[in-house]
Structure 1
Amino acid sequence: MYTLNSKQPVPVYPLEQNNATGNNSFSIVHSEGALVYEENLLIPHRKAHYMLVFVKHNRGRHWVDMTAYERKDNALYFTAPHQILVKEAATPFWGTYLTFTNEFLALQQNAALRELPLIQNPHNGHELLLTAADMSFAEELLTRIEVEHNRPGEWQHRMLTAYLTVLLTYLSRLYTEQFPGNEPSADQRLLRTYRAKVEECFRELHEVGAYAALLHISAGHLSEVVKAQSGRPAIKHLHERLVLEAKRLLLYTPLSLKELAFDLGFSDASYFNRFFKRETGITPAEFRTTIRKMYQ
């Protein structure tokens, strides 16, 4: 397995924009023996999106963080944004790649999808074994999703959400059957509790120390556990939640940037502007213009 040297940052691959639809938050690609997306996958990398790989037939081994998976036929392999991934060799692939971003899940009609076990992945698993019936069911839905994805129009997003809800709900049931699970550890429970508190208080509390006080633990302990369990600093979870809500408001509301900043607990609109650009690479105004063009 190829590894990066200490001077090389781990590359992060965004979801490429579909030239036909202009969509860069959701994609589906079907392969009949091609080497799909193989160019840069043989070095450790991260994806900036969720990825579900439905394998009809494929051989080889890949790694998710520090776990190796020998690929099996009739299986689903799935990962969340920013995990470190690497394949050991490029091999022909028969199956379907389904990918979507946090921004796609942040859309109001998709919000419930975030709570499904397959997306939450409490057991940190990345492989589901599918029966012939399971694969047939998934392939039928994937075909419908692909047709809808290539058919932009007023009803496209509603139809994609409907099909994706059925698919991910079905897969989540399989997930709970294949990962019946031991009780989560104390550290896993703390991570869940922290995320729940962030969801509850992200508008009012912008410092990790404030959440530590709510949980009656030290900020250092909270930061250490969250980083160990999730791979990301505690403050990053909070910043991502703020950015998600900002994007939601920028898309769905006419709030001015000053009003939006105040709604999210920022006392100064210019600071909110700098915060958003630091986290996303673009200003709130640029994001609003881009996202509204995409979903109009």
Structure 2
Amino acid sequence: MPKKRGFLDRITQHEKLAIRINTDKIPAFPADIQAILSGPHKEPHYFIELMVEGEDNQMIDLRNYKVASSQLLFVLPNQLHWSGRQKQGSKFFNIVFDENCLSLLPQTYRFLLNPLNNSLITVDQQPLKRLSSLLISMSSLLEDEHAGTEILLAYLNAFLTECNTLYFSGHRIEVKSNKLEKYYEFQQYIENNLTHPGEIHSIAEKLAVSTNFLYQIVKQYSGHSPKEFLINRIMLEAQRKLYHEHPSIKTLAYDLGFSDPDYFSRLFKKTVGKSITQFISELKDL
């Protein structure tokens, strides 16, 4: 099995899989792990919280999320994550797993790319019961670190399939449509070619669509033009690097595909709403 990254290898509940389920009834993590989780950190794995009853506050990529009863929040690898504190008496589940777990499952789950830019999902009572039941079953299995891998993965597949259906519930007619498919492909292309994506018309050609069609679908699903989407994604990556790697402005600009650091700095301020210097200063106060 590939080496588990980050601290998940220390808190996993299974001998072969990097996976853990935490609930309001499971004791807290070791102090050093809890310190990492309670402060800003870069998630090396997938994190999903299901709030059955109660309230929690989380922050993802510098954006605050209030997780209320019957809501589900997910955090993706490489996102900046601040774990909140659940309101006393809250009933919840947290599940953490890595890319290797996904590779062992029979399908892909497109919600994990967050194509609709929505990390918080409201869950009706019936799916809430199903999700809770699946997590209870997995948690029970994980009481034995030698639990059957196939059974555990079957439960995980059912859980993620339910999450995927809920994520796209308002877009059921469009899930298999050409529009959403092409938006998904566009999003994947940007992720794979972030530092050298090329011009928008070139991206459209690679996706076998017209520039106008690409504009329409990206605007429909993200609320931004393709160029704005790309710039926002690059600037998000810039913010992550500034937090974790502390590069110089020149190095950061070059790493992200910009040949002119001054232009990069101006674009950062225009997009983020503050200069790089101001952003770094504010990070120190987190």
TM-score scaled by length of structure 2? 0.56
- 1:116 partnered with 2:113: no
d(CA) in 1 for partners of 2:99, 2:153: 14
- Which residue does the alignment assign to 1:66? 62
- Which residue does the alignment assign to 1:165? 157
Residue 38 of structure 1 contacts residue 90 of structure 1 at CA under 8 Å; is this kept in 2?
no
d(CA) in 2 for partners of 1:19, 1:83: 20
d(CA) in 2 for partners of 1:35, 1:150: 15
224-233 or 94-103, larger mean C-alpha shift: 224-233
d(CA) in 2 for partners of 1:91, 1:128: 19
- Which residue does the alignment assign to 1:84? 80
RMSD of aligned residue pairs (Cα, Å): 4.1
d(CA) in 1 for partners of 2:124, 2:134: 16
- Which residue does the alignment assign to 2:284? none
Give 5+ residue unaligned stretches, structure 2.
Answer: 204-225, 239-286
Letter in structure 2 aligned against 1:156 = G
- 1:31 partnered with 2:27: no
Cα deviation 1:21-53 (Å, max 9, x = unaligned): 445611112223976775444432222110111
- 1:98 partnered with 2:95: yes
Counterpart of 2:128 (choices 125, 135, 139) is 135
d(CA) in 1 for partners of 2:97, 2:26: 23
Query: Secondary structure of the residue that 1:63 maps to in structure 2?
Result: strand
1:146 Cα shift? 1.7
Cα deviation 1:184-231 (Å, max 9, x = unaligned): 7x9976442355x78xxxxxxxx976x859x847xxxx9x97674274
140-149 or 35-44, larger mean C-alpha shift: 35-44
- Which residue does the alignment assign to 1:50? 46
Letter in structure 1 aligned against 2:98 = T
Q: Residues 4-23 of structure 1: matches in 2 within 5 Å?
A: 14-18=7-11, 21-23=14-16
d(CA) in 1 for partners of 2:81, 2:69: 20
d(CA) in 1 for partners of 2:18, 2:189: 28
Query: Secondary structure of the residue that 2:20 maps to in structure 1?
Result: strand
Letter in structure 2 aligned against 1:162 = A
Residue 138 of structure 1 contacts residue 167 of structure 1 at CA under 8 Å; is this kept in 2?
yes
Give 5+ residue unaligned stretches, structure 1.
Answer: 1-11, 199-206, 234-296
Letter in structure 1 aligned against 2:155 = Y
Q: Residues 126-275 of structure 1: matches in 2 within 5 Å?
A: 126-153=119-146, 156-178=148-170, 190-194=186-190, 216=202, 228-229=232-233, 231-232=236-237
Quick one: percent identity of the two aligned structures?
15
d(CA) in 2 for partners of 1:19, 1:88: 21
Cα 1:228–1:111 change in 2 (3 A) is farther
Cα deviation 1:92-147 (Å, max 9, x = unaligned): 342111110112223xx3262xx212222212211111122121111111122122
Query: Secondary structure of the residue that 1:71 maps to in structure 2?
Result: strand
- Which residue does the alignment assign to 2:266? none
Cα 1:227–1:25 change in 2 (3 A) is farther
d(CA) in 1 for partners of 2:69, 2:141: 26
1:13 Cα shift? 5.4
Cα 1:144–1:227 change in 2 (3 A) is farther
d(CA) in 1 for partners of 2:85, 2:94: 18
Query: Secondary structure of the residue that 2:39 maps to in structure 1?
Result: coil
Residue 13 of structure 2 contacts residue 145 of structure 2 at CA under 8 Å; is this kept in 1?
no
- Which residue does the alignment assign to 1:273? none
